[in-house]
Structure 1
Amino acid sequence: MSSSNSRLRTPAGPSTSNSSNSKPWVDPAALPDAPAVDVSAISGNVPDYAKQLVCNVFHSYGVGEPDQFGYAVGRATRFVDMSVEHGSERAGRMEGTTVAEVAVAKHMLNGAGMLHGGCVTYLIDNCASTPLVLLGIMSGQNGVGVTQGMNVLFHAPAPVGTILRIISSSISMGSRVMSARCEIVDKASGRVVASAFLNKMQPVPSSTSRL
């Protein structure tokens, strides 16, 4: 683990929001461990337990069960790096970054034989959420939310066999609204396949919602 770990705050678990009687919408620590995940193989400056919790959230909400949408793509996606750093622009600002990889398979293609735009959007939605989850774990907040919107740009096609490298970073993390950026590149050539901004929000727990 790198020496930059000394700069990280001691994790305090997800915040339960401003009200002591409310509960977080999702507690990553309460989710089952993601199957077939070796967190020791994931590089980065955060502890293995944080990597495991991020993988648990990704698997529970981004992969789901075998008969649910995107299961095969999600199961094939592997995280290779998770890190949290202090930004240089503003003192005390932390930034979470995750890197995942997946090979383009035939079931991910459109009729033209290229990576389907719907599959690209699926990957962005789930992978770009993970740096927010990671940042929340490491800062004692709840970084799990629901997607409000995405702005996706498609730059280049990706044929079968292309190894996609999905690089996601947090932008901002408020008590209700969070945002992240994502870039999908061809690992071999470095060519950008797609880029996006993702906006998420924290649902109000049912115990605190009002009619």
Structure 2
Amino acid sequence: MPFASSSKRQISVPAQPKAWVDPSALPDDVDVDVGLIRGSAPDHVKQLVCNTFYSYGVGEPDVFGYGLGRATRFVQISVDPSVERGGRMEAVTVAEVTITKSMLNGAGMLHGGCVTYLIDNCASTPLVALGLMSGTNGVGVTQGMNVLFHAPAPIGTTLRISSSSISMGGRVMAARCEITDKTSGRVVASAFLNKMQPNTRL
């Protein structure tokens, strides 16, 4: 005669996907003074956005573009409902950097690769901010970029890099970016950026 087992059946719960990069796990960047950054985002969000930009986006001193990344400074980080999007949250970041000789091409103008580096890193930041405010991880890897070059920029020009979120889904996110000459307002480059959350279970 079969006997009853007293052991309970184990129920397996699928593991939640691990965040690609968790902004709250990154160290505070000592060069950031959030009191100098304008915008409606709370100070802790401004700090975490900067931590993600400098630690994950820029990296350590011996990696590509380190000097350019460290010279880039955020002047505004905002997260507000967008009238154009029916009240949905929209994040906006504005950063500035002054063109130095190391950023030039052979013709003495801002290098296209330099522009692309700035867009890739800066246009990612409104997605990080939006994710922090909405409880979603907005840090991903770049899936694609569409960059338009509008005008050259010589040494000494201060660039204003304005980025805003477009959409944030479960794994795919999008942002737009415009780089202008801060003094003249002339558009240097504009772009759309798509990012995605990598599958961390692989």
Q: Same fold (TM over 0.5)?
A: yes
Q: Distance in 2 between matches of 1:118 and 1:167?
A: 18
For 1:133, the equivalent position in structure 2 comes to 128
For 1:154, the equivalent position in structure 2 comes to 149
Q: Distance in 2 between matches of 1:172 and 1:112?
A: 37
Alignment equivalent of 2:96, drawn from 98, 101, 106: 101
Q: Distance in 2 between matches of 1:150 and 1:49?
A: 29
Aligned ranges for residues 82-121 of structure 1 at < 5 Å?
82-121=77-116
Deviation of the 1:92 alpha carbon: 4.0
Aligned ranges for residues 178-197 of structure 1 at < 5 Å?
178-197=173-192
Please identify, of 58-67 and 141-150, the stretch whose mean Cα deviation from structure 2 is larger: 58-67
For 1:12, the equivalent position in structure 2 comes to none
Alignment equivalent of 1:172, drawn from 145, 167, 171: 167
Identity %: 75
Q: Secondary structure at the match of 2:131?
A: helix
Determine whether 1:203 maps to 2:201: no
Q: Distance in 2 between matches of 1:35 and 1:154?
A: 34
Q: Which amino acid aligns with 1:159?
A: P
Q: 1:20 to 1:78 in 2, by over 3 A?
A: same
Q: Distance in 2 between matches of 1:47 and 1:20?
A: 31
Q: Secondary structure at the match of 2:17?
A: coil
Q: Distance in 2 between matches of 1:168 and 1:59?
A: 17
Which aligned runs of 4 or more in structure 1 are off by greater than 4 angstroms? none
- What are the Cα deviations for residues 103-133 of structure 1, in whole angstroms up to 9, with x where unaligned? 0000000000000000000000000000000
**Alignment length (residue pairs):** 189
Structure 2: stretches of 5+ with no match in the other structure? 1-13
Q: Distance in 2 between matches of 1:65 and 1:90?
A: 38
C-alpha root-mean-square deviation of aligned residues, in Å?
1.1
- What are the Cα deviations for residues 82-104 of structure 1, in whole angstroms up to 9, with x where unaligned? 00111113434110000000000
Determine whether 1:143 maps to 2:162: no
Query: Could you tell me the TM-score, scaled by structure 2's length?
Result: 0.91
Q: Secondary structure at the match of 1:40?
A: helix
Query: Could you tell me the TM-score, scaled by structure 1's length?
Result: 0.87
For 1:23, the equivalent position in structure 2 comes to 18
For 1:32, the equivalent position in structure 2 comes to 27
Q: Which amino acid aligns with 1:178?
A: M
